[in-house]
Amino acid sequence: MAGFKTHISVSTALGCGYAAYGYVAQDLPPTTAVLGGALCGFSGMLPDLDSDYGVPLRETMAFTAALVPMLLIGHFETMNLSHDAMVLVAVSLYLFVRFGVTNIIRKHTVHRGMFHSIPAALIFAGGAFLLTATAPLPIRYYKAFGVLMGVMSHLLLDEIYSVELNGARSRLKKSFGTAVKLWGDGGLANLATYTQLAIIVVMILGEPSVMEYVQTRNPEFARRYQQLQQQFEFSGSLSTAANEVFSTVRTSAEQFVSQMPSTGPPSPTAGFLGFFQGGNNQAGTSTQNMPPQQSSQAVPYYYPSPGNVPPSYPAQGQPATIQRDFETAQRPWPQYPQ
């Protein structure tokens, strides 16, 4: 396969030609044209991020950690951040990319995996497009295509170097077909890659400027995409609508029960209300919303009969016998001797 120096040399030469094309043919500002060419030259290292502890991973992640905050300067300005806040955010992003993302890539990738694939190239280009969201749309296309060219130059070089030429005979190495591919051997890696690609595409199409451009070029595709988006929004709002209906029914039940008289046979609506309140109340036993004077029934007092003698208390201080009946007549308390 091609070495690191070969990849960076080819992508840099391609970036120089791309910068000249942007300045001469597209009449772009010199700084924009040079930046697009630099992105193309840098992107020639991106597929080798899966090389564990090699030079490509170390150099690429160091350069990416410094480049990402600079590409986000436009976003920082739209957020009205102060210069000190911009510096703090940039330093935080640098540390996160330089160490956090690097460790994740090192632990969860294998060499010549899905980083060497066409979907990964589209993900890198889409990420560059999203990072430059504050620039005009043609300039964003120019920068994103520069990244795509750099990544594809790396993949094509790997495929070219997988063909061994030996005089009149040539043979294909085992690495042939492992760079320019649509999917790899690992099902989980394929799923993760295409999920990321789908998220990037949805984020790009979700921008109003991009959708307006798509409508002018392909109105039918824009119409179908908007219909699909509306269907997903409708299905996502079903749970919210169900919660609103549930809350309305519960409130109506509470108001109905609170207006019912406290006398009479137990009402099944009270049990229905208990169900909505999430408790274990039986029918007719819910008294949460009843007025204070109706929340409970009066418990009859039990007075001793006139013929009964006062209870006798043993030495332990507890009554030996207490004789009571169940009459509820209002009778005066007996006078106990002092």
Query: pLDDT of 117-137, one tens digit each?
Result: 999 999 999 999 999 888 889
Structure tokens at 235: 């299905």
Separation between Cα atoms, residue 149 and residue 162, nearest integer Å = 20
- Could you state, in order of their start, the residue ranges of all structural domains in the chain? 4-205, 239-286
Per residue in 170-190, pLDDT tens?
777 777 777 788 888 878 889
Q: Please state at what angle helix 208-217 crosses helix 137-161, rounded to 10 degrees.
A: 80
How far are the Cα atoms of 11, 263, 279, 293, 301 from residue 285, in angstroms, in the given order? Answer: 79, 12, 11, 15, 22
Per residue in 287-303, pLDDT tens?
444 455 444 444 444 44
Separation between Cα atoms, residue 82 and residue 86, nearest integer Å = 6
Residue 319 per-residue DSSP state: -
Closest CA to 32 of 153, 138, 152: 138
Separation between Cα atoms, residue 103 and residue 161, nearest integer Å = 29
Separation between Cα atoms, residue 265 and residue 125, nearest integer Å = 73
Separation between Cα atoms, residue 55 and residue 7, nearest integer Å = 13
Length of the chain: 338
Separation between Cα atoms, residue 266 and residue 269, nearest integer Å = 9
Per residue in 215-228, pLDDT tens?
888 888 878 887 87
Residue 154 has what pLDDT? 92
Is the pTM for the entire model greater than 0.85? no
Average pLDDT in the chain: 75
Per residue in 85-116, pLDDT tens?
999 999 999 999 988 888 888 887 777 788 88
Separation between Cα atoms, residue 169 and residue 161, nearest integer Å = 15
